[in-house]
Amino acid sequence: MVADPVPLQAAAELFPNGISRYAVGGLFVGLGAAVIYVGTGISAGASTFLESTLSFVSGQSRFHQYAASRDWRLVFTLGIVLGAAVYAVIYQDGAWTTDVSWWRLLLGGVFVGIGTRVGKGCTSGHGVCGVGSASKTSIAGVLAFLVTAIVTAQVVAALGVTP
Amino acid sequence: MAASGDRHPLFVPLVLVGGLVFGFGLGYSHMARPEVVLNFLQFEDFGLLFVMFGGAAVTGVAFFVAPRLLDRAPLTGDRFERRLKSFDRNVLVGGGIFGVGWGLSGICPGAAYASLGIGNVTILWALAGMFLGAYLQGWWRSRATDGVDPAPTGAD
C-alpha cells in the first residue's frame, strides 16, 4: 500500500465530506446572484426580505423604505425555496428535517434578525455579493460574524448542548 | 430601480430564475442544513468556505465583467455598481450579533428559506425568530430615528 501524500491526508481531515458538494453548490449560489446582477444591476441579498415583508403588516417607517422592492424580494425568496426543493427532489430521499433544538433555532433567529439589520447584510449580501465586490465594509462584516459565530458555536458545544 | 408599473416584463421571471439557481446551490452545498454549518463553525468540516468564496468568485466575475460589456442593466436601465456600503461601527456590532445567532442556530436568512425547500419544517422556528428580530430592530430604530434620518441602507 502506498499512503496518500501528507497534504492529501491533511485535506481529508479538514474536508470529511470532500469539497465538490461545497464548491459546486457555491458556484450555483454565485451564479444565481450573478444572473440577477447582470440582468438588473441589483446585488441581491437574502436578509432585506425580512424588513421588506414586514412592511405588509407594520406601519413602521423602517420597513416602508423597502416597500418598493418587497414584491421582487418575495419572488426571489420564493425562488430560493423552490430551487432548494428542486435539489431535494433530485438528490434527497424525501423531506429532511434538522435535529437542532427549536429554542436554538428561535433564539438564534432573533439574533440573526437583529444583527443582519444592524450590520447591513448577511451571509449572502456581505458574504457573496459584498466580498465579490471587494467591499472593505463587507469583508469587515464577514470577519465580524465569522469570529463571533465560531466562538459561539464552540462555547455551545463545550457546554454540551447537542444537537 | 424601476417602479413597479413600468418594469420590464422579464424582470420578475429573471429574479425568480436567479432565486431558483441560488436556492438550488444552497441545497446542493448542504448549507441549508444547520448541522453542516455548525460542523463548520466547530472546525469539523471546512468545506463551507468553498460555498462562500466560490459564490463570491462568481459574483466577482459578474461585478467585473457586466459594467465592461453593458452600459446599463438590460431589465432596469440601472447602472452597474459594486455593492459598497458605508463602513461604521454598526457593521461590526451587527455582524457580531449576527454571528452569535449564526453560531447558536447554524442558520442564516438565505439558507433558512432554502431549508424550508428541502422539507425542513422545523426551520420555521428560525424564520419566526428572524422576523421577530428584524421587527424588534426596526421598531427600535424607528423610535430612535423617526424624523431624524431615515436614510436607506440599500439593498442586500
- The angle that helices B89-105 and B34-41 make with each other, rounded to 10 degrees, is 110
Mean pLDDT of B8-30: 97
Candidate from B52-61, B130-139, B144-153 with smallest mean pLDDT = B144-153
Pairwise CA distance, residues A117 & A110, whole Å: 11
Q: Do residue A24 and residue B134 have CB atoms under 8 angstroms apart?
A: no
Pairwise CA distance, residues A71 & A49, whole Å: 9
Min Cα distance B144 → chain A (Å) is 11
The answer on pLDDT for A3 being more than 90 is no
- Give the ranges where B74-123 is alpha helix by DSSP (H): 89-105, 109-117
The answer on pLDDT for B144 being more than 90 is no
- For the record, the C-alpha cell of B39 comes out as 460542523
Does the pTM of the predicted model rise above 0.80?
A: yes
Pairwise CA distance, residues B73 & A37, whole Å: 8
The answer on pLDDT for B101 being more than 90 is yes
Contacts of A18 in chain B (CB under 8 A): 47
Q: Cα angle at A121 between A161 and A163, to 5 degrees? A: 10
Q: Do residue B99 and residue A44 have CB atoms under 8 angstroms apart?
A: no
Pairwise CA distance, residues B112 & A60, whole Å: 25
The answer on pLDDT for B1 being more than 60 is no
Please identify among residues 56-85 of chain A the ones whose CB lies closer than 8 Å to any CB of chain B.
58, 60-63, 65-66, 68-69, 71-72, 75-85
Q: What pLDDT score does A163 carry?
A: 79
**R_g of chain A computed on alpha carbons:** 19
The answer on pLDDT for A12 being more than 90 is no
Q: Residue B37: which pLDDT band, with cuts at 50, 70 and 90?
A: very high
Q: What pLDDT score does B150 carry?
A: 46
**CB-based contact (8 Å) between A27 and chain B?**
yes
